């Protein structure tokens, strides 16, 4: 089964470019207004009703004319009961078919208005509102209350479509822009399906690529589950070390791949009863470094009725292939276009000439106007330390996060930045994905990102949940071969890009991490002694 993908989408046409599934509406639709489209449907409905009535009249006329001269008022009772039954059944099935077609049309128009594209057999209608969670799926009141308390009034497009898909026990792989609410899109149906706490091993698993994201997802789950006694666990170092996994039981377990794999191998955690498995940031999880761990987790989840889902803001073809190998009868949900930067972010490219130029540019820009919070990305932990060493004494509340720090230090760095105690956070790609720092005003790519997905995820730390944001990308001579790739991403998300940029030569973007000159301007001895000041 693993390698036979064709049956997964049996009965559907898999349109990678999504052009055809909306084309027929584009033909009719010159004005995007839903009201207008709906009135067209209603007109169509009226027309169909009128046609159906006249057809019935014609039919009746035909029946009566057939008996003309015998009795003009001859009623249908003159037909045998069997004939009447066949007629009624036919009418009923025509009516049902028409109703189904109308619903499909309404669904397609609704999706088009919310920029949702789906592929898959029999995809459930998207949610019109959170109220439908109750009317269609009997959503428990604690969850509706929590949604309201969190201020979530309307579902986001990914939530509108992915929630009903998962609630109808369909596997799903989904791609939606950064900051568009994917976490709720998988946590909400998971809690609804689990219903209440139950004993019996691990019931649901969410895998996140980093400890920071696992912690954040854990907190989001807790917020959504408030008021219901679920056992939600985060696989921390101490849990991994101290738990008796032979008796381990929880409703939702959130973990990084490495920790869960260790728990499977060394502690024999039992995942055979897992009913829901979510791979968040799935393209990252399927990268070579993590794939073996993910593979062993997937294999350990042996429950035949498991529902698996994959979510990310970037969905490369190799992940789609994996998803099709892995999943049964899956629904593919794409919001907007695949692999696109969020449209709410104003993006800029700045030529700095050299490494020195970058430092001058950043100092100048902070001196002119520093509008915190600002997140700065560099390509390695060494460079993060160096830049921190430069900015730490510039009278700016700056901190740094990278993988050499202890877990506590990493958590403190994130918490202080979230709380506004830190204005500028220097980071490696360790926080480029998934992290929800509310209200980041600006992301600076101090070092050019090494791939399209790195660019999309890094800048996606700003402009979240419909807010606006800004992203500035520094480039030097070394980055010019890859400039066009960023320019294309900028253009496709609606930013103005000078034409010379998009006319540059095309170059395949393969992990671009050149050896850059040191950021540090301090002599070596002083550099070694520089410590991190308290915030």
Footprint of ligand ATP (CB under 6 A): 152, 155-156, 159, 176, 178-184, 313, 434, 436, 438, 460, 464-465
For the CB of residue 133, give the shortest distance to ligand ATP in the complex, in Å.
12
SS (H, E, C) 345-401: EEEEEEEEECHHHHHHHHHHHHHHCCCCCEEEECCCHHHHHHHHHHHCCCCCCEEEE
Residue closer to ligand ATP by CB (options 436, 470) is: 436
For the CB of residue 206, give the shortest distance to ligand ATP in the complex, in Å.
12
Closest listed residue to residue 129, CA positions, set 87, 164, 179, 166: 164
Residue closer to ligand ATP by CB (options 239, 459) is: 459
Residue closer to ligand ATP by CB (options 301, 345) is: 345
Residue closer to ligand ATP by CB (options 342, 379) is: 342
Helix orientation angle between 452-459 and 483-492, rounded to the nearest 10 degrees: 50
Distances (CA, A) of 194 to 250, 347, 370, 524: 11, 42, 46, 57
For the CB of residue 457, give the shortest distance to ligand ATP in the complex, in Å.
7
Residue closer to ligand ATP by CB (options 282, 520) is: 282
Compute CA 220 distance to the chain's CA centroid, rounded to the nearest angstrom. 15
* Non-local CB neighbours of 221 within 8 Å, separated by 6+ positions: 187, 191, 206, 232, 252, 254
Residue closer to ligand ATP by CB (options 113, 365) is: 113
Residue closer to ligand ATP by CB (options 133, 519) is: 133
For the CB of residue 345, give the shortest distance to ligand ATP in the complex, in Å.
12
For the CB of residue 468, give the shortest distance to ligand ATP in the complex, in Å.
14
For the CB of residue 315, give the shortest distance to ligand ATP in the complex, in Å.
11
Q: Residue length, the chain?
A: 535
For the CB of residue 240, give the shortest distance to ligand ATP in the complex, in Å.
24
Please list the residues that pair with 426 across neighbouring strands: 376, 400
For the CB of residue 212, give the shortest distance to ligand ATP in the complex, in Å.
11
Distances (CA, A) of 346 to 16, 220, 342, 493, 496: 28, 28, 9, 9, 9
Residue 526 to residue 69: CA distance in whole angstroms: 115
Token pair belonging to 56: 């019935």
Residue closer to ligand ATP by CB (options 320, 436) is: 436
Query: Contact at 8 Å (CB) between 279 and 294?
Result: yes
Token pair belonging to 124: 């459930």
Residue closer to ligand ATP by CB (options 293, 342) is: 342
Q: Quick one: the chain helix, strand, coil %, rounded to 5?
A: 45, 15, 40
For the CB of residue 28, give the shortest distance to ligand ATP in the complex, in Å.
30
């003009």: which residue's tokens?
72
Token pair belonging to 344: 């709410």
Distances (CA, A) of 106 to 24, 44, 115, 278, 486: 13, 12, 14, 30, 37
Q: Where are the beta strands (DSSP E) in 81-201?
A: 116-119, 172-175
For the CB of residue 372, give the shortest distance to ligand ATP in the complex, in Å.
18
Residue closer to ligand ATP by CB (options 56, 438) is: 438
Query: Contact at 8 Å (CB) between 341 and 347?
Result: yes
Token pair belonging to 74: 């001859």
Query: Contact at 8 Å (CB) between 313 and 176?
Result: yes
For the CB of residue 158, give the shortest distance to ligand ATP in the complex, in Å.
7
For the CB of residue 460, give the shortest distance to ligand ATP in the complex, in Å.
5
Residue closer to ligand ATP by CB (options 335, 392) is: 335
Residue closer to ligand ATP by CB (options 234, 313) is: 313
Closest listed residue to residue 370, CA positions, set 395, 349, 390: 395
Residue 200 to residue 221: CA distance in whole angstroms: 20
């Amino acid at each position: 089964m693993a390698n036979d993908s064709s049956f997964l989408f049996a009965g559907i046409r898999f349109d990678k470019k999504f052009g055809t599934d909306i084309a027929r509406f584009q033909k009719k639709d010159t004005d995007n207004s839903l009201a207008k489209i709906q009135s067209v449907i209603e007109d169509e409905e009226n027309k169909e009703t009128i046609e159906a009535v006249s057809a019935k009249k014609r039919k009746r006329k035909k029946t009566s004319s057939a008996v003309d001269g015998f009795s003009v008022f001859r009623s249908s009772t003159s037909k045998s009961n069997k004939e009447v039954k066949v007629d009624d059944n036919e009418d009923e099935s025509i009516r049902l078919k028409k109703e189904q077609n109308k619903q499909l049309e309404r669904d397609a128009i609704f999706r088009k208005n919310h920029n949702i594209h789906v592929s898959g057999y029999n995809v459930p209608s998207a949610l019109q509102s959170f109220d439908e969670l109750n009317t269609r799926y009997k959503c428990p009141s604690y969850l509706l209350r929590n949604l309201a308390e969190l201020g979530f009034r309307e579902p986001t497009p990914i939530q509108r479509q992915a929630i009903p898909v998962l609630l109808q026990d369909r596997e799903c792989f989904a791609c939606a822009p950064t900051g568009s609410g994917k976490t709720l899109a998988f946590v909400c149906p998971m809690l609804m399906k689990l219903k209440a706490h139950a004993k019996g091993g691990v019931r649901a698993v969410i895998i996140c690529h980093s400890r920071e994201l696992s912690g954040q997802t854990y907190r989001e789950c807790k917020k959504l589950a408030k008021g219901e006694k679920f056992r939600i666990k985060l696989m921390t170092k101490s849990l991994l070390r101290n738990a008796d996994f032979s008796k381990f039981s929880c409703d939702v377990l959130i973990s990084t791949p490495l920790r869960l794999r260790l728990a499977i191998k060394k502690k024999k955690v039992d995942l055979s009863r897992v009913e829901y498995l979510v791979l968040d940031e799935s393209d990252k999880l399927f990268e070579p470094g993590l794939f073996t761990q993910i593979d062993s987790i997937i294999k350990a989840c042996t429950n035949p009725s498991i529902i698996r889902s994959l979510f990310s803001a970037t969905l490369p073809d190799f992940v789609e292939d994996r998803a099709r190998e892995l999943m049964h009868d899956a629904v593919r949900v794409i919001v907007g276009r695949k692999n696109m930067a969020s449209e709410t972010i104003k993006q800029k490219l700045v030529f700095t000439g050299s490494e020195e130029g970058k430092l001058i540019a950043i100092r100048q820009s902070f001196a002119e106007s520093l509008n915190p919070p600002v997140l700065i990305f560099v390509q390695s932990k060494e460079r993060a330390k160096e830049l921190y060493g430069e900015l730490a004494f510039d009278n700016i509340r700056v901190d740094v996060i990278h993988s050499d720090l202890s877990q506590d230090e990493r958590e403190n760095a994130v918490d202080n930045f979230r709380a506004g105690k830190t204005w500028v956070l220097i980071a490696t790609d360790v926080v480029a994905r998934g992290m929800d720092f509310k209200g980041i005003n600006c992301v600076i790519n101090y070092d050019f990102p090494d791939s399209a997905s790195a660019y999309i995820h890094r800048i996606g730390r700003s402009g979240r949940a419909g807010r606006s944001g800004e992203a500035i990308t520094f480039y030097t001579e070394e980055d010019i071969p890859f400039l066009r790739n960023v320019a294309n991403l900028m253009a496709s998300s609606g930013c103005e890009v000078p034409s010379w940029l998009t006319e540059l030569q095309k170059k395949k973007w393969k992990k671009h991490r050149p050896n850059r000159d040191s950021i540090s301007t301090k002599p070596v001895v002083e550099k070694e002694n520089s410590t991190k000041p308290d915030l």
